[in-house]
Amino acid sequence: MSDTKQKNNAGSLSEPVKSKPDHIRLLLVDDEKGFADILSKRLSKRNFEVTTALSGAEALQALRKADFDIAVLDLKMEDMDGIEVLKIFKKMCPSMEIIMLTGHGSEQAAREGLSIGAFAYLTKPCDLDELIVKIRQALKRGDEANG
């Protein structure tokens, strides 16, 4: 796999320009472009290697092309339901931890996501530091599970 990758169709799918092994590789999936752009920039400033997908289909495409440590996944998207994407992610990459993030939260959706294998569930807007704590906890659990 190449050290430098870039695909940016009108800002839709953006991949990290340089791969650094000490960075956490994060797939951010949210169909709200403004929110996704801001969160991606804020996480990148904290040394996360962020790939943004603006739809469930883009997220699946990104997961086929690269490995990720963590996914932050919006629950409500236009093209695919976040629960549906979560199920597919868990089949494609069972060891990848997933944090559900939504502005349309409900206890039922939270329980369903957690029962399918999501690590955690946060409601938008969430505090960046709270999200980062969850990401690091998820990464630690993934590392422990993988030995």
Chain Cα centroid distance, residue 115: 18
Q: Which secondary-structure segment (H or E) carries 123?
A: strand 120-123
Where is pLDDT greater, at 145 or 72?
72
pLDDT of residue 147: 63
Confidence of residue 123 (pLDDT cuts 50, 70, 90): confident
Q: Residue 1 pLDDT more than 50?
A: no
Task: Residue 58: name the closest of 7, 5, 21, 118 by CA.
Answer: 7
Read off the pLDDT of residues 64-108 as tens digits, 9 standing for 90 and up. 999 999 999 998 888 888 899 999 999 999 999 999 987 765 677
9-20 mean pLDDT:
44
Q: Quick one: tokens of 78?
A: 């236009």
**Sign for the pseudo-dihedral over CA of 137, 32, 124, 79:** negative
pLDDT of residue 8: 39
Confidence of residue 117 (pLDDT cuts 50, 70, 90): very high
This model's pTM is above 0.75: yes
117: DSSP letter: T
12: DSSP letter: S
Read off the pLDDT of residues 23-62 as tens digits, 9 standing for 90 and up. 799 999 999 999 999 999 999 999 999 999 999 999 999 9
Domains within the chain, CATH numbers bracketed? 24-145 (3.40.50.2300)
Q: How many CA atoms lie within 13 A of 106 on its CB side?
A: 8
